[in-house]
Amino acid sequence: MVDIKAISERDRSSVLHPFTQLKDFASGKSGDPTIVTGGKGIRIEDAQGRAYIDGFAGLYCVNIGYGRTEVADAIARQAYKLAYYHTYAAHTTEELAILSDRLVRMAPGKPSKVFFGLSGSDANETQAKLVWYYNNLRGQPKKKKIISRERGYHGCSVVSGSMTGMSFYHDHMDLPFAGILHTGAPHYYWGAEPGETEDSFSRRRAAELEALILREGPETIGAFIAEPVLGTGGITPPPTGYWREIQAVLRRYDVLLIADEVICGFGRTGADFGSTLYGIEPDLVTVAKGLTSGYVPLSGAIVGERVYAVMEEAAERVGAFSHGYTYSGHPIAAAAANAVLDIVQKEQLSERARIVGSHFQKRLKERFAQLEIVGEVRGVGLLGAVEFVADRQTKRRFDPHHKVGARISKAARDRGLIARAMPHGDILGFAPPLIVSEAEIDEIVDLAYRATKQVMDELA
């Protein structure tokens, strides 16, 4: 039996929780921590015995669902055999070599090598260093600035946090870092001008990107980083034509493209990668989350041929590639990732996400699109969002003090559904495990609908 009181007290007095209002938590005003004790399939359970459908797969990562013993067995086997060795100076393990080869074969673009890290944030930090390294080595030392998008999310470390295009991730922390620039978000609902089509909106966003590159000087712009589908910034699929237009600009000015596949990778959108779905040909690809389904920490910065060729060619001149972590390519993480990818492939989870995802998108629209506080219902595959507004005609937002998104998320939770109040606006986000069934989708959408109706009644 879990001692809820003792654990809560220990936690409250010692854990610095991410994304938690510290004073309310310290004083108990925001309640006790939720002590998560178990999980199976799409559900988790807390210490009080309450079960929740996890409609967000942890943080969009537990794609294969909870409690997969195949992965636990693979982790244990590797731990018994060899719990740790590093990958410096050309050391490796069998699981790592298998995993890396697999990723190079399946990743979008023209992948050549994989640098392993522990989180999406550190992988994007690595990507920035690779952009700088590549341009130094090929004699373009000024070509260092990196452009990301407003409302993009790329992590919380110094450079990745700067790439993240939401000011509340920067405030009071001296970010963004110099040399990281932002361009407009690809969100048609909020960004389009009256009468503008999706295609012309995409062209305008690409023209803005081009204007920014020209203003700064193309010889100073090293890379553009973006998620195929904008994730934490609101779960927003790109408008039609967006990726074609953007890539044309990047090619014109010799700017590398980093596809941040941390959420989209390994099936979430109904394709193996978001890049596959939208015809993106990246030079560098970031993966994490779904790579191990969150069972252990692991990320990858996948380096395309174009960048790697320059690195190898310069090696005699510059010496060893001096970047790496104690835990780069950790054998237990590699074993877990191989077991996860076995499941993803055997159970055809990308295809499943496409089929069940189309049911999900249809049900979300049927249930929510007509509600008077719903501005937009959007998504792709098993990523979805409902955005709430005070006035559908004028697209007037709710007064932030009403905390409409957070209240709906809380009302859903009280009914046993975890759906995330996204941080930018009043948005309820969904990203269930990819093993979810159509019946479970109906249950998720129904619970979210009833939670929304409850808050609508409270607002009336």
Shortest reach from residue 326's CB to ligand PLP, in Å: 17
Q: Which two tokens stand for residue 298?
A: 């692991």
Q: Which two tokens stand for residue 201?
A: 């909106």
Q: How is 237-257 classified by DSSP, letter by letter?
A: PPPTTHHHHHHHHHHHTT-EE
SS3 category, 221: strand
Shortest reach from residue 90's CB to ligand PLP, in Å: 27
Nearer to ligand PLP, 55 or 231 (CB): 231
What is the three-state SS of 370-394?
CCCCEEEEEEECCEEEEEECCECCC
Nearer to ligand PLP, 154 or 203 (CB): 154
Nearer to ligand PLP, 125 or 387 (CB): 125
Nearer to ligand PLP, 231 or 357 (CB): 231
Q: Which two tokens stand for residue 320?
A: 């060893």
Strands 43-46 and 284-287: unpaired
Q: Tell whether the torsion through CA atoms of 84, 88, 89 and 92 is positive or negative.
A: positive
Shortest reach from residue 124's CB to ligand PLP, in Å: 6
Shortest reach from residue 58's CB to ligand PLP, in Å: 10
Which amino acid appears at position 375 of this protein? G
Nearer to ligand PLP, 284 or 288 (CB): 288
Residue nearest to ligand PLP (CB): 120
How many angstroms separate the CA atoms of 193 and 188, rounded? Answer: 9
Q: Residue 240: CA atoms inside 13 Å, Cβ hemisphere, count?
A: 5
Nearer to ligand PLP, 121 or 338 (CB): 121
- Enumerate binding residues for ligand PLP (CB under 6 A): 59, 119-121, 124, 153-155, 227, 231-232, 260, 262-263, 288
**Can you say how many angstroms the Cα of residue 314 is from the centroid of all Cα atoms in its chain?**
33
Closest CA to 52 of 351, 409, 352: 409
How many angstroms separate the CA atoms of 125 and 112, rounded? Answer: 19
How many angstroms separate the CA atoms of 340 and 346, rounded? Answer: 10
Nearer to ligand PLP, 137 or 353 (CB): 353
Nearer to ligand PLP, 93 or 121 (CB): 121
Nearer to ligand PLP, 257 or 451 (CB): 257
Shortest reach from residue 94's CB to ligand PLP, in Å: 26
Q: Tell whether the torsion through CA atoms of 53, 59, 60 and 61 is positive or negative.
A: negative
Buried b (16+ CB within 10 A) or exposed e, 402-421: bebbbbbbebbbeeebbbbb
Shortest reach from residue 245's CB to ligand PLP, in Å: 21
How many angstroms separate the CA atoms of 246 and 152, rounded? Answer: 15
Shortest reach from residue 155's CB to ligand PLP, in Å: 4
Shortest reach from residue 379's CB to ligand PLP, in Å: 15
Closest CA to 142 of 224, 48, 217: 217
Shortest reach from residue 13's CB to ligand PLP, in Å: 25
